[in-house]
Structure 1
C-alpha cells in the first residue's frame, strides 16, 4: 500500500493533522513530518530555502525506507512538495497541492512578508504566531480549532520564523508547473486570506493533470474547519481506480 506523506506549512506541525489520522489512515499508511524549526522538531537547525526543505523531507523518507508515496503539502508545505516533484518525480504517485500557490511572495496575502517580520520583531514570535493563526480560519479566534492550531504555531523557533519567511519569499515554482507528472488535486478554501484565487487558478491551469476542489465557507485551514469534507475529497482522489 502506497503511504501518504503530509507536509505542514509555515508555523505548522505534525499535530495539526490529528483530524485526518482516522479517516485518511483507514486506507493507507500516513507519514507526518515536523519540519526543522517547527512543531515537535523546533530544536533542529532551521532551513531557509524551499529546495532545502525538500531535500530534508526526501532524506527523512529515505531514512524510513520509503521509496514511493502519495504527497500532500499545505501552504508553505505545498511549495515544498512542488519542489519535491522537481527533485524526485519518479517517487511521487499522486500529489495534493492544498491552500498553496506558485510563488512564495504571496501576492494578496493578509500582510506582506516584511510586515510579518516587523511584527514578530516588535511583539515577539509567539504573539505573532497566534495572530497569524487566527487569519487561517474564517471565524478567526472564535473558530473551534483555532486554539489548538495557535498552540502548534507558538512552537515555532524564532530563527525558523524568519528562515521560513525567507524561504518562501525567495522561491517560485511557476516555470516548473508544466513538468509535474503526477496526477494532482488542487484544493482551496474560498475564503483563504493567504492565497487568493489567482494563485489557485495558476496551479489548476498550469499542472497538466490537475483536478480542482474548492471548499465553500473555509479559509486557509480547510482540514480543520471542514475536516469531514476535506478527508472525503482527499480519500476519493487517492482511491485506487
Structure 2
C-alpha cells in the first residue's frame, strides 16, 4: 500500500489493532495519510492512532485552533474521547510543538515522546524562509501552490522525490484559514521554558538536511530534555519518514520497544 493509494481514505478516526498505543501527529500542511506506510508496518504490534488535525487533511472542515496550546487541547480531548489513557506520542514539525504541549499538560499519560523534525521555538529562526514570508505568499498564491513550494523543501531531492506529488495533494487539502492560523500559531509559540518538565523517555529524530529546523533547534531539544536520545538520519530532509522509510521505522520501533 502506498501513500497515493490511501490519500483519499477518511482516516480521521483511524486506529488499528491491539497492543501499546502510538499516536502520530502530523505537521503543518500534513495529514494522517502521510503515515500510511509507517502505520501499516507497525500495526501488527502497536495500536496506531493517526488523527487529522482540525483544518488539515480529512479534517479540513473542522475549525482550526489559533494557537499550539489549543491544538494540544483538541488532541487531548480527542484521545480522551477514544478512551486512550496512556500512549507513546510522535509529533512531526508543527505536530512536534503540539506534542510538547500535550506532554506538558498530561505527562502521566505520555509514556514515551518522539519529537521528529521539530524544535522548541515556533518561529524557526533558520527556516528556509521566515514565517512572515510564508504568510504573505500564502495570501497571494493560495494553499495548493503554497503546498507545492513548501513540500519541495521537505525532501532532499525536492520535486524529483517519488513522494512529492502525494505530499502536495495532502497539503492542498488544508483549509485556507487553517493554513493561515497554523503559521501564526507556530510564530507565536515558544516551548523552551517547559522542556525540563518533559521527563518521560524521549527521542529526537532529525534529517541532517532539514531546511525547516536546523541543528541549533535540534541540539537545544537534545540537551534540554532530561531523558532525550538523538537519531540523525543521513541524506534525509524534513520528511525523513518517506525519504528513508525503513531506517526511520527501525529507529522508531527500537525506541518504542526500549526500556530506557
Q: Same fold (TM over 0.5)?
A: yes
Question: What corresponds to 2:34 in structure 1?
Answer: 16
Work out which structure has the larger RCO, using CA pairs closer than 8 Å and 6 or more positions apart in sequence: 1
- Once the two structures are superposed, the pairs formed by residues 66-215 of structure 1 within 5 Å of their partners are 66-215=84-233
Q: Is the 8 A contact 2:20 2:45 kept in 1?
A: no
Instruction: Give unmatched runs, 5+ long, in structure 2.
Output: 1-18
What is the CA distance between 1:130 and its match in structure 2? 1.1
What TM-score, normalized to structure 1? Answer: 0.98
Secondary structure of 1:9's counterpart equals coil
Deviations 1:158-203, CA, capped at 9 Å, x for gaps: 0001100111011111011111021000000000000000000000
- Distance in 1 between residues matched to 2:60 and 2:94, nearest whole Å: 16
Determine which of 63, 76, 83 is the counterpart of 1:58. 76
Count of residue pairs the alignment pairs up: 241
RMSD of aligned alpha carbons: 0.8
- Distance in 1 between residues matched to 2:256 and 2:141, nearest whole Å: 42
Instruction: Give unmatched runs, 5+ long, in structure 1.
Output: none
Q: Is the 8 A contact 1:138 1:191 kept in 2?
A: yes
- Distance in 1 between residues matched to 2:97 and 2:198, nearest whole Å: 13
What is the CA distance between 1:240 and its match in structure 2? 4.7
Structure 1 moving runs of 4+ over 4 Å = none
- Distance in 2 between residues matched to 1:188 and 1:24, nearest whole Å: 20
